[in-house]
């Protein structure tokens, strides 16, 4: 009897493999423990973690946004690189972090993660109105505003509207961010009920309890039009956007982050959209 046969087909072989199997499995929690320890001393964040995506995961994000927007992958990749290479925005975010009262709980280096996809979606589809719930430090809001600025420079003006209940939110919104973003303070559901304009892109990123997320979708539904794209950040926590997509006869798709060098397993984006449609909210000017 060979060793392989002994290990695979006998009770004693199964017992002999237990320490080997344990060794294979335990390397993963040991790696995570090392990442946790390194993070505890090197990072200041204690919630709403930021991180870079793995190279492969970034490529998958390109594909995800390309499907949702109906644009070529090369176009989406170009827009994501545009944000990655925007050194002026990166330096502005560093400066605003240094100046913030919250600087002891924020990392200096901006890490966009899946927000690269938010930026590329706005650049590709040229919305007039983007509505985001949940600002917090304002990294995602600043990214959306930066995309709106680029669109406006090319002749496609638009505005980001963002809701939050904390008056001190948005410390990462600098001069550019404030020009292309309006923050509405107060409960987001009540704010959405009163919002007066048609919404091209809606992004839920506030209270992720299922009942609250659903309440936001219902509140904004009258302001959505046939081409609106609806996103939900942290969709790994809730099935409500998938249910809302069915309600509106839209396709649902989900993307999961894969962080590099971080113990956090990552978050994700859900999208409800019209499949097979190239979405451009503002046509090219003649």
Whether residue 182 has pLDDT greater than 90: yes
Can you give the pLDDT at residue 286?
47
Distance CA(68)–CA(93), nearest Å, equals: 28
Same domain? 9 vs 56: no
| C-beta of residue 257 within 8 angstroms of C-beta of residue 50 | no
Task: Provide the pLDDT confidence category of residue 10 given band limits of 50, 70 and 90.
Answer: confident
Average pLDDT over residues 72-85: 98
Same domain? 80 vs 176: yes
% of the chain residues with pLDDT over 90:
83
H-run or E-run covering 270: strand 268-273
Closest CA to 225 of 189, 247, 201, 254: 201
> pTM score, two decimals?
0.94
Can you give the pLDDT at residue 276?
94
Q: Residue 61 domain-assigned?
A: yes
Mean per-residue pLDDT over the chain, rounded: 94
Same domain? 199 vs 63: yes
- We report the CATH number of the domain holding residue 160 as 3.40.50.150
Same domain? 119 vs 22: no
H-run or E-run covering 159: strand 159-164
Same domain? 10 vs 71: no
Same domain? 22 vs 131: no
The β-bridge relationship of strands 199-204 and 129-133 is: parallel
**Looking at 26-30, 126-130, 264-268, which range is the least confident one?**
26-30
Whether residue 107 has pLDDT greater than 80: yes
Same domain? 169 vs 88: yes
Q: Residue 267 domain-assigned?
A: yes
Whether residue 48 has pLDDT greater than 80: yes
Question: How many domains is the chain built from?
Answer: 2
Whether residue 108 has pLDDT greater than 80: yes
Same domain? 21 vs 153: no
| C-beta of residue 135 within 8 angstroms of C-beta of residue 169 | yes
Same domain? 29 vs 72: no
Residue with the bigger pLDDT between 14 and 25: it is 25
Distance CA(131)–CA(232), nearest Å, equals: 12
Same domain? 112 vs 171: yes
Find the domain containing 225 and state its range.
Answer: 52-273
Same domain? 153 vs 178: yes
Task: Provide the pLDDT confidence category of residue 114 given band limits of 50, 70 and 90.
Answer: very high
Can you give the pLDDT at residue 189?
98
Same domain? 140 vs 177: yes
Q: Residue 281 domain-assigned?
A: no
Closest CA to 259 of 49, 66, 70: 49
């Amino acid at each position: 009897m060979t060793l392989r046969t002994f290990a695979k087909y006998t009770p004693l072989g199964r017992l002999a493999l237990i320490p080997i199997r344990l060794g294979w499995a335990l390397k993963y929690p040991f790696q995570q423990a090392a990442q946790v320890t390194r993070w505890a001393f090197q990072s200041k964040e204690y919630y709403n973690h930021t991180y870079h995506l793995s190279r492969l995961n970034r490529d998958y994000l390109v594909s995800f946004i390309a499907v949702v927007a109906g644009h070529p992958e090369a176009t989406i990749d170009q827009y994501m690189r545009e944000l990655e290479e925007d050194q002026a925005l990166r330096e502005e975010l560093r400066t605003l972090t240094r100046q913030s009262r919250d600087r002891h709980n924020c990392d200096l280096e901006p890490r966009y993660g899946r927000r690269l996809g938010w930026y590329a979606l706005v650049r590709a589809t040229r919305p007039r109105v983007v509505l985001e719930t949940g600002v917090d430090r304002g990294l995602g809001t600043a990214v959306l505003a930066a995309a709106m600025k680029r669109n406006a420079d090319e002749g496609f003006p638009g505005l980001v509207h963002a809701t939050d209940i904390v008056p001190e939110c948005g410390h990462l919104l600098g001069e550019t961010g404030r020009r292309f973003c309006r923050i509405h303070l107060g409960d987001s559901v009540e704010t959405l009920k009163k919002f007066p304009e048609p919404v091209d892109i809606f992004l839920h990123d506030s209270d992720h309890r299922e009942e609250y997320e659903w309440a936001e979708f219902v509140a904004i539904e009258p302001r959505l039009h046939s081409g609106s794209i609806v996103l939900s950040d942290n969709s790994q926590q809730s099935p409500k956007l998938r249910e809302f997509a069915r309600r509106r006869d839209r396709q649902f798709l989900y993307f999961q982050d894969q962080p590099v060098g971080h113990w956090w397993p990552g978050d994700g984006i859900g999208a409800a959209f019209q499949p097979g449609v190239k979405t451009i909210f503002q046509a090219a000017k003649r």
